[in-house]
């Protein structure tokens, strides 16, 4: 009989990770196991002892808090609360310990539709804390939507905790949680706060000296302007729902004036002056460090043409190292404000661009072939991916035979690989083009960007896409150049 080596448990778990099916929990933006996968994993775990621990670790890796509390003997509902009918001891916690040690992501969901979560009496948490002050030793991520009636932050902390997500929670609960995290979770580095209730003291966040990612929903958050420290480690700052003026945003920016922030995103509705004030501070603090910039701006101005838009975002040209830019612009004005001038100005300001994505929720767009020539020019040598709204109906017509002419000179050697053109209308229908418009467009794109790998023409909602009609022509041109020895 030949010898064999049993499969390591760690390898079994890794293999299972590749075959499980997950779905997105939109509430917390995290992957969760599908119901079918949970059934299959449980069946395998219970039918084979070798699979029990690795498959159970996958099942319990992300768990709702109540699932774990139900492992406590004697947990029942009384007078509308979960309570313990008996006293906890070491023997009673044996089953709880097995599964709680597997938990890496702890979830406390809010109400779902008509379903109201039954609150847990604080006595349950205090009884558990007496025997297990830190019941989840492997916990790395916490997600909580709405503060439970009895918020007990102690159980949400571990020595390896990395991130926390809170939405619709009471400010005092978050502050209490962060005060413990500061001392007991040295690996903590990411905090998301959405729609907090009550006054929020920024000092509670500033004490997290190792925080690297801070995501704050400013709407309904009344920020107290008490003394704060100035951490040096923050790398990503995301600010959302700014509608009452720039003051709260400026307080957050000041708090991180000593950090070298690399990624900054801003979403909100302000007048042009408010946005200019914010961008002026961003540029003065992080002119050399920001490489990723995301803007979703609703500019509350009645007069907003392209020149006015450039005035609003003008201070951001001082961010010399922007590589990834996404911009969505909306305004009260009906004037066309996304134009070739805007594209040219942005590209001239950011020489290191790799990813360039702009758009609007309105039809105030007039970007033409001139912008494609700008993007293929010397000011954007590193661009790899572009997405822009585009006037596709007025592409200059060309002699289609020239598309396959290997001797026809290229206007650029630009290395752009992926291009998305967003057009108006319900769908980019071929009837919109006259005299072989797809071929003319393909010809122009090929001369500007001879190394294209994919071109997508789509509507603003992304419901319809055209790829092959353009890419087939481009591939023929690329193939002809390769045969002619003019393109590697």
* Helix 437-448 vs helix 468-484: crossing angle, to nearest 10: 50
Give the CA angle between residues 55, 65, 182 to the nearest 5°.
105
Domain ranges of the chain: 390-488
**How confident is the model at residue 484, as a pLDDT?**
73
Residue 11 neighbours by CB under 8 Å, 6+ apart:
none
**How confident is the model at residue 19, as a pLDDT?**
66
Confirm if 475 and 440 have CB atoms less than 8 A apart.
Answer: no
- Length of the chain in residues, anyone? 488
- Side-chain-side CA neighbours of 377 within 13 Å: the count stands at 16
Q: Where are the beta strands (DSSP E) in 184-323?
A: 190-194, 199-201, 213-217, 222-224, 236-242, 263-270, 292-299
**How confident is the model at residue 430, as a pLDDT?**
47
Confirm if 359 and 327 have CB atoms less than 8 A apart.
Answer: yes
Q: What is the DSSP letter of 461?
A: T
Q: What is the DSSP letter of 120?
A: B
User: pLDDT tens per residue, the chain (488 residues)?
Assistant: 455 556 676 677 677 776 677 677 766 677 777 788 788 878 887 888 777 888 888 889 999 999 999 999 999 999 989 999 988 989 889 999 999 999 999 998 876 655 667 888 889 998 999 999 999 999 999 999 877 666 778 889 999 999 999 988 888 889 999 999 999 999 999 999 988 877 888 899 999 999 999 999 877 566 776 678 899 999 999 999 998 889 989 999 999 999 999 999 999 999 999 999 999 999 999 999 999 999 999 999 888 888 999 999 999 999 999 999 999 999 887 776 899 999 999 988 899 999 999 998 777 788 999 999 999 988 899 999 999 999 888 888 877 665 555 445 566 678 999 999 998 765 555 455 444 578 889 989 998 999 999 999 988 766 677 878 889 988 988 888 877 766 55
Backbone angles phi, psi at 328, to 5 degrees: -125, 125
Confirm if 316 and 344 have CB atoms less than 8 A apart.
Answer: no
């Amino acid at each position: 009989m030949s010898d064999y080596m049993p499969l390591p448990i760690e390898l079994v778990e890794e293999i299972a990770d590749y075959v499980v099916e997950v779905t997105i929990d939109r509430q917390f933006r995290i992957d969760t196991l599908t119901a079918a996968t949970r059934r299959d994993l449980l069946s395998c775990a219970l039918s084979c002892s070798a699979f029990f621990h690795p498959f159970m670790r996958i099942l319990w890796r992300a768990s709702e808090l109540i699932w774990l509390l139900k492992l406590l003997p004697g947990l029942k509902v009384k007078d509308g609360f979960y309570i313990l009918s008996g006293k906890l001891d070491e023997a009673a916690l044996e089953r709880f310990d097995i599964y709680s040690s597997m938990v890496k992501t702890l979830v406390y969901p809010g109400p779902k539709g008509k379903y109201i979560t039954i609150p847990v009496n604080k006595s349950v948490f205090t009884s558990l804390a007496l025997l297990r002050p830190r019941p989840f030793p492997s916990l790395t991520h916490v997600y909580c939507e709405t503060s439970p009636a009895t918020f007990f932050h102690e159980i949400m902390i571990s020595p390896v905790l990395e991130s926390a997500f809170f939405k619709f929670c009471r400010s005092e609960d978050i502050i209490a949680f962060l005060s413990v995290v500061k001392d007991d979770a040295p690996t903590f580095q990411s905090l998301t706060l959405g729609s907090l209730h009550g006054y929020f003291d920024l000092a509670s966040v500033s004490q997290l000296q190792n925080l690297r990612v801070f995501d704050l929903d400013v709407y309904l958050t009344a920020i107290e302007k008490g003394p704060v420290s100035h951490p040096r480690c923050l790398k990503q700052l995301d600010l959302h729902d700014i509608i009452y003026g720039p003051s709260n945003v400026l307080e957050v920016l000041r708090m991180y004036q000593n950090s070298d922030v690399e990624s900054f995103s801003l979403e909100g509705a302000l007048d042009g002056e408010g946005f200019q004030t914010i961008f002026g501070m961003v540029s003065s603090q992080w002119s050399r460090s920001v490489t990723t910039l995301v803007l979703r701006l609703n500019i509350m101005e009645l007069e907003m043409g392209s020149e006015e838009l450039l005035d609003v975002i003008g201070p951001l040209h001082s961010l010399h190292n922007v590589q990834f830019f996404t911009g969505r612009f909306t305004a009260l004005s009906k004037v066309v404000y996304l134009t070739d001038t805007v594209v040219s100005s942005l590209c001239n300001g950011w020489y290191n661009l790799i990813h360039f994505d702009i758009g609007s929720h309105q039809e105030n767009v007039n970007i033409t072939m001139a912008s494609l020539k700008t993007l293929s020019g010397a000011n954007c040598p590193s661009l790899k991916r572009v997405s822009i709204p585009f006037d596709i109906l007025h592409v200059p017509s060309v002699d289609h035979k020239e598309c396959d002419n290997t001797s026809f000179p290229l206007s650029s050697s630009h290395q752009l690989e992926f291009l998305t053109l967003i057009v108006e209308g319900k769908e980019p229908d071929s009837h919109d083009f006259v005299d072989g418009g797809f071929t003319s467009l393909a010809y122009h794109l090929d001369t500007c960007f001879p190394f294209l790998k994919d071109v997508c023409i789509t509507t603003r909602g992304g419901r319809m896409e055209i790829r092959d009609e353009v890419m087939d022509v481009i591939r023929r041109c690329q193939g002809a150049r390769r045969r002619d020895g003019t393109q590697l």
